[in-house]
Amino acid sequence: MSGSQTRSPDAELGLLDATMIGMGAMIGAGIFVLTGLAAEIAGPAAIVVFALNGVVTAFTGLSYAELAASIPKSGGGYAFVREIFDDLSSFIMGWMLWFAYMIAGALYALGFAPNFLELLHVYGLVPPPEQVGVIAVPVVDGAVPIAFLLAFVAVLGLVALNAVSTAASGSAETVFTVVKVCILVVFVGFGFASPMFSGAEFQPLFPDGNGAAAVLPAMGLTFIAFEGYDLITTVTEEVENPRENIPKAIFFSLAATVVVYLAVVTVAVGTLGAAGLADAGEAGIATAATSFMPTGLPIIQNGGALIVFGAVFSTLTALNAVVIASSRVAFSMGREGQLLPSFGQIHHRYGTPFVAILASAVVMLGSVALPTQSAGNMSSLFFLLSFIIVNIAVIRLRRERPNMNRPYTVPFYPAPPLIGIALNLILTAVLVEYLLRTDPLALGLSAGWIGLGGVAYVGLNRLRTPSTGDTAAVDTEEDTNDQ
């Protein structure tokens, strides 16, 4: 085949690149828009909310680390399940993960658009985002919403980057994430030094004695901010010394993200106060920055502008990370014969899973048409289900292959995976109950995607299973060649 060939991708990503893929996905737009909403529910205990979510997700992180070290294959949770479970189970896992990453990519792309417009508005280049409607397209005598156009350009640009070079996309993720973290470090530094923070009041930690009744729903709201370290395992074969570096990257990215989150939330609550942060809602971090950061800064005019700039980088890094992840899941499925063979081929010139990247981009752009809230709920549901399966996979692999080479093992086994299963089951049940009341469309679309996967599975099985006549013809040809 002239364009592509079946082989493993080149290992061009180091420990830093792998860590930044995880951090880039986790430290996304969530920290900018969810902090105020968490404070509205839990008050000053929003700090506790982010800390507990870090603990909850760490249990599944331990399982990912052991599986990645034991099964160093690209594809993340799909690759692990493919190694351990039967053909149908692994297909469903890959089908869910692929869709969850693509849906997340559409959401990040649409999140990039208003933030980018707001950044241009800060510098007086465009009207406020709500006043920017559509752009006329003379060729087709129509108009395109500016948000869709910007989302399309963002996806197209990062897809092109990923298609031609894994190293370039990894380096871009590293640069974007470093810039974003530096912005948050500046925010935290000014916040701790502010006179507003010196009089911070965090008591009572649980207003009105609500306690866990306030913390649990806020945890459900903000849990999505900790999804991302799993993306590291989707590029396992493209990381140098993966058996050692993948577990390290998972732990480094989780630890760094939790530290950043806690520092940012502490400063936001300590400067604006829980009530002020709650009143600001989705603009909580930007409002806090404007309240204590100096004005007249070089290039960046004020604290609010700095945070908007950070939000632009956040959506781009998260989008780049899921472009990488979704295409690697599709690549792994194609290589295993569970999608079309072309998905599992590496481009002869670029050394990237070219077809898998393009196919993921097409679905990602098409997903922009879905309702934003429903798409987000679908993505969260599929991620929670996949986390449950990953924890089960660790237990099953231990039982079936006790002597397998495991450079890293989960400490205090089997407690962590069992706790991970229980916690994710609880969150899944809470989410499903919530969707039944508020978003039945998301449940319907989720079932529809699984149903479509069933049709694809049957169809692909028929394509790759030759008929009796074809088998006889192949056998005859092989006998002739042997002679």
CATH number at residue 28: 1.20.1740.10
pTM of the predicted model as reported, rounded to 2 decimal places: 0.79
The answer on pLDDT for 254 being more than 90 is yes
Residue type, position 194, single letter: S
What's the mean pLDDT in 375-401?
Answer: 88
| Contact indicator for 9, 351 with CB cutoff of 8 Å | yes
Domain with 371 in it: 4-482
DSSP secondary structure string for all residues of 56-101: HHHHHHHHHHHHHHHS--SSTHHHHHHHHS-HHHHHHHHHHHHHHH
Neighbours of 217 (CB within 10 A): 16
Quote the CA–CA distance of 383 and 387 in Å, as a whole number.
Answer: 6
- Which two three-digit tokens encode residue 44? 């000053």
Share of the chain above pLDDT 70, in %: 81
Residue 44 CB contacts under 8 Å (≥ 6 apart), including other chains:
202, 203, 204, 205, 207, 269, 274
Q: In the block, which residue shows the tokens 């989780």?
A: 254
Rounded to the nearest 5°, which phi and psi values hold at 239?
-110, 135
**177-225 pLDDT per residue, tens:** 888 888 899 889 989 988 888 766 777 676 665 566 778 777 777 777 8
**54-111 pLDDT per residue, tens:** 988 899 999 999 999 999 887 888 889 998 888 888 999 999 988 888 888 877 787 7
| Contact indicator for 31, 177 with CB cutoff of 8 Å | no
* Torsion, Cα of 299, 304, 305, 310 (10° steps): 110
CA nearest to 354, candidates 92, 105, 161, 203: 161
**276-319 pLDDT per residue, tens:** 888 877 667 877 887 888 776 666 666 777 887 887 878 887 88
